[in-house]
Structure 1
Amino acid sequence: MDRPTPRVNGAKLAQSSPGSTVRLIGKVISLDAEQALLEAADGAQVTVKLMHDSVLSSTFVEVIGKVQSETSMQELSTLNLGDNIDMEVANKVVELTHQYPDVFPPGA
């Protein structure tokens, strides 16, 4: 992505403007050809509308996408992160990036 993509959890996604581009780490709860249901780092459930060539092949993923609503986003790209992520640490990273934007610029 060429533009900043702030890290969000479920709560920060709900505060994001529709159409803005964000990145979210989540655990894949369910998956079909059109959408995935993720558990965000803060435990919130987020629906991700998938692109037709999307490949979510691990338990944990980072999705860069456009905000559609308080609980949903449209996938632009996805990075498979494997099967073992400390979601508590991932959530802390999200909170710190918003608490200290001068230290953690959006997209860092």
Structure 2
Amino acid sequence: MSQNEHISPFVNYAKLSSFTGKQVRLICKLKNFSSPREMKVETTDGGEVVVVVATKPEDTQPTSVYLEVIGLVQDSSTIKLAGLIELGDEIDMKLANDMIEQMHRPMFWQTIYGYHSETPA
């Protein structure tokens, strides 16, 4: 198992498809539960993602509007939930998106994540 497999970078909707099959972190706004095992969230850049809840739905009932979802990217708009951090009810989504965009710039990527390979475009 390589060191890169333990890294979960922050992504927005535009970056999500580059990480299919990998674990990521997604700062988002909870929109609704589309089913007992699926949350619809809005990403920092305005995209919509479905978060699949693998545990019992009652174990994943966030009380905050804003969340950090940690999970495995299944496709360009779906993440399988591994963990959830509640971020409260007020977040500057534009600032969060700007942070994510900066983290993905090649000049910062290696400093933050410690490797060159698989650097997103």
TM-score by length of 1: 0.89
Equivalent pair of 1:97/1:103 in contact (CA under 8 Å): no
Task: Please identify which structure carries the higher helix content.
Answer: 2
Q: What runs of 5+ residues in structure 2 fail to find an aligned partner?
A: 115-121
Q: Whole-Å Cα distance in 2 between the matches of residues 104 and 34 of structure 1?
A: 33
Equivalent pair of 1:63/1:78 in contact (CA under 8 Å): yes
SS at match of 2:73: strand
Partner of 1:104: 112
1:12 matched to 2:15? The reply is yes
- Give the deviation of 1:103 after TM superposition: 2.9
SS at match of 1:15: helix
- Give the deviation of 1:90 after TM superposition: 0.6
Q: What runs of 5+ residues in structure 1 fail to find an aligned partner?
A: none
Q: How well do the aligned residues superpose, as a CA RMSD in angstroms?
A: 1.5
Greater relative contact order (CA < 8 Å, ≥ 6 in sequence): 1
1:95 matched to 2:97? The reply is no
Q: Whole-Å Cα distance in 2 between the matches of residues 103 and 55 of structure 1?
A: 35
1:26 matched to 2:28? The reply is yes
SS at match of 1:96: helix
- Give the deviation of 1:95 after TM superposition: 0.6
- Give the deviation of 1:104 after TM superposition: 2.0
Residue type matched to 2:62 in 1?
L
4+ residue runs of structure 1 moved beyond 6 angstroms? none
SS at match of 1:101: helix
TM-score by length of 2: 0.80
Overall identity of the aligned pairs, in % = 34
Q: Whole-Å Cα distance in 2 between the matches of residues 102 and 65 of structure 1?
A: 22
